[in-house]
Amino acid sequence: MADLEPLLRFWRAHDALFERVEPVWWGAVVSDARFPAVREPNYARVETAEPVALSEIEDRLLRAMRRSGSVGAHAVVFRPEEQTDLIAAASTRGERIAWDLVMRIEGQGEPGPDHVQEVARPSEDFWAVHRASAALFDIEGTVTIDQLQAMERSVMVPGGRRWFAANDAGRPVALAALMVLDGVGFVDHVVTFPDARRRGHAEALTRRLAFEASRSGAGATYLLADPEGDAVRIYERIGFERVSHLASWVSPIAGPGFAG
């Protein structure tokens, strides 16, 4: 079984930035009424390798999501290879299970090319670019994007998230974010706009972020990737290694299993 403790250390510190974290024996339930339309601060973190029933997770999750006003119940399973019964129960009920490949790099690395720059003081122009990038992650709806940006401005950036951009002719054409918490780095939101793809921007950004994470004291840096996506090869060229998988699903609060 892969050692996920460094990633979990990061995740716990990250979750502590939000309004409410309720520890339970199998992990925690995180909720934040300021951002009910955003999954990141409203979900169940299932850490344990011990058997846990779907109903037990959802009992705690439902109560927390109703308090926060969330319209969906999001669960993330960190040891899916040990939770096959749990995942089977969710799948049998009709949930669409999403899989993320966990990748990790250790060591200093290289800073990468000069056209990648840190966005030290995000301006309104940057936030307009960030807003446009949300659509490339299938994030839709004005309310959801407004809350996502409010979370970035008021919680994530003050909490230590750093943004970087790859520029072409003075225009940001790709973005990525880095956070280092409890000695562990995490690369997120790596995205290139369609008219600038296949020019090495994602690789340059990720290489720079891995370098910055190590320079900031991270013993290891993680990211999540689509297991079937082309980006996996890019990350492997940089030096990221495949570690394990995460499983997750989102249920509408009024959907099956959440009546009553």
Do 112 and 203 lie in one domain? The reply is: yes
Pairing of strands 98-105, 241-252: antiparallel
Do 72 and 109 lie in one domain? The reply is: no
Percent of the chain clearing pLDDT 70 (strictly above): 97
Do 95 and 110 lie in one domain? The reply is: no
- Residue 94 within any structural domain of the chain: yes
Q: Where are the beta strands (DSSP E) in the chain?
A: 20-24, 27-31, 43-46, 72-77, 98-105, 116-119, 162-168, 171-181, 184-192, 220-225, 241-252
Domain at 144, CATH number? 3.40.630.30
Neighbouring residues of 195: CB distance < 8 A, sequence distance ≥ 6: 173
Do 24 and 126 lie in one domain? The reply is: no
Nearest C-alpha neighbor of 220 from the set 189, 192, 248, 180: 180
- Residue 260 within any structural domain of the chain: no
Do 94 and 118 lie in one domain? The reply is: no
Structural domain total, the chain: 2
The tokens of 235 are what? Answer: 């990350």
- Within 13 Å, how many C-alpha atoms sit on residue 216's CB side? 21
Do 229 and 132 lie in one domain? The reply is: yes
Q: Tokens 């910055």, residue?
A: 212
Do 69 and 148 lie in one domain? The reply is: no
Q: Provide the pLDDT for residue 231.
A: 94
Do 174 and 202 lie in one domain? The reply is: yes
Q: Report the C-alpha gap between 166 and 198 in whole angstroms.
A: 13
Name the residue type at position 204.
A
Neighbouring residues of 121: CB distance < 8 A, sequence distance ≥ 6: none
Q: What is the pTM of this model?
A: 0.94
Neighbouring residues of 125: CB distance < 8 A, sequence distance ≥ 6: none
Do 160 and 235 lie in one domain? The reply is: yes
Name the residue type at position 149.
Q
Do 52 and 154 lie in one domain? The reply is: no
Q: Report the C-alpha gap between 46 and 53 in whole angstroms.
A: 11
Q: Provide the pLDDT for residue 71.
A: 86
Domain that holds residue 221: 105-243
pLDDT in tens, the chain (260 residues): 678 999 999 999 999 999 999 999 999 999 999 999 999 999 999 999 999 999 999 999 999 999 999 989 999 999 999 999 999 999 999 999 999 999 999 987 778 777 899 999 999 999 999 999 999 998 889 999 999 999 999 999 999 999 999 999 889 999 999 999 999 999 999 999 999 898 899 999 999 999 999 999 999 999 999 999 999 999 999 999 999 999 999 998 754 333 32
Largest distance between two CA atoms of the chain: 56
Name the residue type at position 93.
R
Do 146 and 62 lie in one domain? The reply is: no
Q: Provide the pLDDT for residue 1.
A: 62
Nearest C-alpha neighbor of 227 from the set 55, 89, 99: 99
